[in-house]
């Protein structure tokens, strides 16, 4: 029996994880969950799965969730089944490193995921990593901590999970130089704006940006997919996860999202992982690794598949992707800056305070301003993240002035 903490249980990845877990009650026990703004959803999760712990943002939320749980289920008026409610970042860290926990699903969106994910790594857990932002913010330190503390890191991002599956077993972590690999081929759907001209992007709305053709995801990653910043963040994620250089990763647009990514070998072979676009596949793979379990995803029907097509990404349509590649080559301060700026810019876009095309401008200005800093410790990274958020807010105010 694996005991599991889900950081970000109320989100899209959290829900898919709960779905897979509930198909295998003999294998998995949910130990702890966290939520943030959607307390009714968290209450429903607690009632259905009866974890030992639930983490909310504030003390006020802790009181509210208790009331919600009691209102929704009479069973929970008994103290014996009531979970312990914890609050804030310390609560997240506690459920990530708790000794009774084997596996931590890191599915909080954004920089808020870094410290609890690090806590799971430092406690030597099996860490299922959906929160790509933690690697973008702290790649080298993060991977060092994985090695030092003997954590097992399995990527959940569908592309990285695919690459992981296409690598030889003994080379899954950073030994790619000796493995005969020529390139990692990171596939991208191109998102909802793949066929739009650059000047048409000026006035797109948040709802248009969040209407992804193939994947159903949270709003931040949906906007990142529309701008292809998501692929940029994934480029940086791949570099750290698999210990490769920038020139060893190629981005290929594959609009059907059936091939989730590929590894090209020196002998001419290309290994690909295919499947329907449903995150329950990589989640089930990571949960059961190295075994395989049923995930609830339909089998791929080859006879119903449309054409497989491939395109090169263009810089004038997807400048954020190319900015991320440049930031990756510049180093840690640049990618931390990029992540911070992008979180602020995407939030401003989603709340109607910034044009879609201005997300790139904010990101580029902050990377330019803040790439030349040395970040040796986690505290330096957090301080840099904070400073870059302030720079991004200044840039947004200037653009809107
Ligand atoms: P989501 O918005 O649906 O869910 C985010 C979760 O994070 C929620 O549970 C929310 O309560 C929590 N959260 C948000 N802000 C928080 C904060 N400040 N403190 C604590 N918790 C907070 O997002 P999602 O689509 O599930 O994505 C989660 C992560 O997984 C992201 O890093 C994303 O890039 C990655 N990811 C998602 C998908 C996908 O298909 N959805 C695919 C690959 C990778
Ligand atoms: Mg992905």
Copy the structure tokens of residue 126: 């099996």
Q: How far is the CA of 157 from the centre of ligand 2 (A)?
A: 4
Q: What does the pLDDT read at residue 80?
A: 61
* Angstrom distance (rounded) from CA 154 to CA 114: 16
**For residue 353, is the peptide bond before it cis, meaning its omega torsion is within 30 degrees of 0?**
no
Ligand 1 pocket test, candidate residues 5, 9, 11, 117, most atoms within 8 A of CB: 11
Between CA 202 and CA 212, with CA 207 as vertex, the angle to 5 degrees is: 95
In a domain, 133, yes or no: yes
Whole-structure pTM value: 0.96
Count of structural domains within the chain: 1
Whether 101 is in a domain gets the answer yes
Residue 266 lies in a domain: no
Ligand 1 neighbourhood includes 12 CB (under 6 angstroms): yes
Please tell me if the CB atom of residue 217 comes closer than 6 angstroms to any atom of ligand 1: yes
Specify if 65 maps to a domain.
Answer: yes
What's the confidence (pLDDT) of residue 44? Answer: 96
Asked, for residue 387, whether it belongs to a domain, the answer is: no
pLDDT of amino acid 338: 98
Q: Is 14 in the pocket of ligand 1 (CB under 6 A)?
A: yes
- pLDDT tens digits, 215-248: 888 999 999 999 999 999 999 999 999 999 999 9
Residues 359/349, Cβ–Cβ less than 8 Å: yes
CB distance 98 to ligand 1 below 6 Å = no
Q: How many residues does the chain have?
A: 401
| Ranges of the chain whose pLDDT falls below 70 | 78-81
**132 in ligand 1 pocket by Cβ < 6 Å?**
yes
- Residue 142 within any structural domain of the chain: yes
**Would 132 be classed as within a structural domain?**
yes
Domain residues for the domain of 49 are 2-155
Ligand nearest to the CA of 37: 1
How many whole angstroms from 19 Cα to the centroid of ligand 2?
A: 19
Q: Edge-to-edge, what's the strand order for the sheet holding 84-87? A: 84-87, 53-56, 28-34, 2-7, 103-106, 126-129, 152-155
DSSP of 8-20: TTTSHHHHHHHHH
CB atoms closer than 10 angstroms to residue 273: 22
Given the CA of residue 221, which atom of ligand 1 is nearest to it? 34
Query: Which residues neighbour 226 within 8 Å (Cβ) at sequence distance 6 or greater?
Result: 191, 192, 193, 204, 208, 209, 210, 212, 356
Among candidate residues 38, 82, 31, the one with its CA nearest the CA of residue 57:
38
CATH number for the domain spanning 121: value is: 3.40.50.720
Contacts for 8 with CB less than 8 Å, ≥ 6 apart: 14, 34, 35, 36, 105, 106, 107, 108, 109, 113, 130, 131
Q: Whose CA is nearest to atom 27 of ligand 1?
A: 109
Q: Is 93 a domain residue?
A: yes
SS3 for 60? helix
Place of tokens 């970040």: 375
């Amino acid at each position: 029996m694996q005991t599991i903490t889900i950081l970000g249980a109320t989100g899209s990845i959290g829900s898919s994880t709960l779905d897979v877990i509930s198909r295998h009650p003999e294998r998995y026990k949910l130990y702890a969950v966290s939520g943030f703004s959607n307390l009714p959803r968290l209450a429903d999760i607690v009632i259905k799965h009866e974890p030992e712990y639930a983490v909310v943002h504030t003390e006020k939320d802790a009181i509210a969730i208790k009331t919600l749980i009691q209102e929704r289920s009479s069973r929970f008026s008994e103290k014996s089944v009531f979970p312990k409610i914890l609050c804030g970042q310390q609560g997240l860290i506690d459920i990530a490193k708790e000794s009774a926990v084997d596996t931590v699903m890191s599915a909080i969106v954004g920089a808020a995921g870094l410290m609890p994910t690090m806590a799971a790594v430092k406690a030597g857990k099996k860490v299922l990593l959906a929160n790509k932002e933690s690697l973008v913010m702290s790649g080298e330190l993060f991977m060092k901590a994985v090695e030092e503390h003997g954590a097992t890191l399995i990527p959940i991002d569908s592309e990285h999970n695919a690459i992981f599956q296409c690598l030889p077993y003994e080379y899954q972590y950073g030994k790619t130089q000796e493995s005969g690999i020529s390139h990692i081929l990171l596939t991208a759907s191109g998102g909802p704006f793949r066929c739009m001209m650059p000047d048409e992007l000026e006035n797109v709305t948040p709802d248009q940006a969040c209407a992804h053709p193939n994947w159903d995801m949270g709003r931040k990653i949906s906007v990142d997919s529309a701008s292809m910043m998501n692929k940029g963040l994934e480029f940086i994620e791949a570099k750290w996860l698999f210990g490769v250089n920038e020139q060893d990763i190629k981005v290929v647009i594959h609009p059907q999202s059936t091939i989730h990514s590929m590894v090209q070998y020196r002998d001419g072979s290309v290994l690909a992982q295919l499947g329907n676009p449903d995150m329950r596949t990589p989640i089930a793979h990571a949960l059961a690794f190295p075994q395989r379990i049923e995930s609830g995803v339909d089998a791929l029907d080859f006879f119903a598949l449309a054409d497989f097509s491939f395109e090169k990404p263009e810089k004038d349509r997807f400048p954020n992707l190319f900015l991320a590649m440049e930031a990756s080559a510049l180093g840690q301060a640049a990618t931390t800056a990029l992540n911070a700026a992008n979180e602020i810019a995407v939030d401003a876009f989603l709340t109607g305070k910034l044009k879609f095309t201005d997300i790139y401008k904010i990101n580029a200005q902050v990377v330019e301003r803040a790439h030349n800093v040395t970040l040796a410790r986690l505290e330096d990274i957090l301080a840099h993240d904070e400073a870059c958020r302030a720079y991004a807010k200044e840039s947004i105010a200037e653009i809107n002035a």
